[in-house]
Amino acid sequence: MKTTFILATGLALALAGCNQNTAIGNDREAQLDPPAEASPIEPASSALQNISTALVKPETMSDADVLAIGGKEGRCVFRLTEVGYPTFVYEPGSQGFIKLNGKLIPVSAAGTDRYTSGDLLVTTRLLDDEGNAGLQAQELIVVPPGAGDELGYRGYSICDQ
């Protein structure tokens, strides 16, 4: 009985720190690994060159990535979860950045809620819903160059106006 209590206490203490890692994906020891460097900024034509469209999925941006694109001030931020890192940072009707294939890809407005870089198309659509933390629900649709299908993601957005 005493051994079971000691094992249970040890397990509880070991798991207590599991939510303290701030590294993206929580797959590293944030306090030991050096801070992430910003991903390269490239147009879609080179960032997605020779990559299967089935492998192209939006990725989360690190703090270094956000700084490299000029920050979030005056922009909208799309996240896959309300507390997650940004996936798409944009100025409505102007420009934005999305991270695909480990690269930050600048996109330009091509109509209402539509952004392009070469043959890459990114669209957004606000949904009539909000998350538990009060963020606006939004849909992000990504159509990589040469793709037969679009990829849709539901998440949340907040705009710094």
Query: Around Cβ 9, how many Cβ atoms within 10 Å?
Result: 10
The Cα 56–Cα 158 span in angstroms is: 24
Residue 152 lies in a domain: yes
Instruction: Give the confidence band of 78 by pLDDT, cuts at 50, 70, 90.
Output: very high
Enclosing H/E stretch for 89: strand 86-90
Residue 97 lies in a domain: yes
- Which range marks the domain in which residue 89 is found? 44-159
Q: What is the pLDDT of residue 36?
A: 75
Residue 66 lies in a domain: yes
Residue 9 lies in a domain: no
Residue 2 lies in a domain: no
**Integer CA distances (angstroms), 54 to 58, 97, 140, 142, in order:** 12, 20, 17, 12
Instruction: Give the confidence band of 67 by pLDDT, cuts at 50, 70, 90.
Output: very high
Q: Please state the rounded mean pLDDT for residues 65-72.
A: 96
Q: Please state the rounded mean pLDDT for residues 111-116.
A: 96
Residue range 2-46, pLDDT digits in tens: 666 666 666 665 555 555 555 565 555 656 667 678 999 999 999
- The amino acid present at 161, given as its one-letter code, is Q
- Counted domains in the chain: 1
The Cα 150–Cα 143 span in angstroms is: 5
Q: What does DSSP assign to residue 70?
A: T
Global pTM value = 0.79
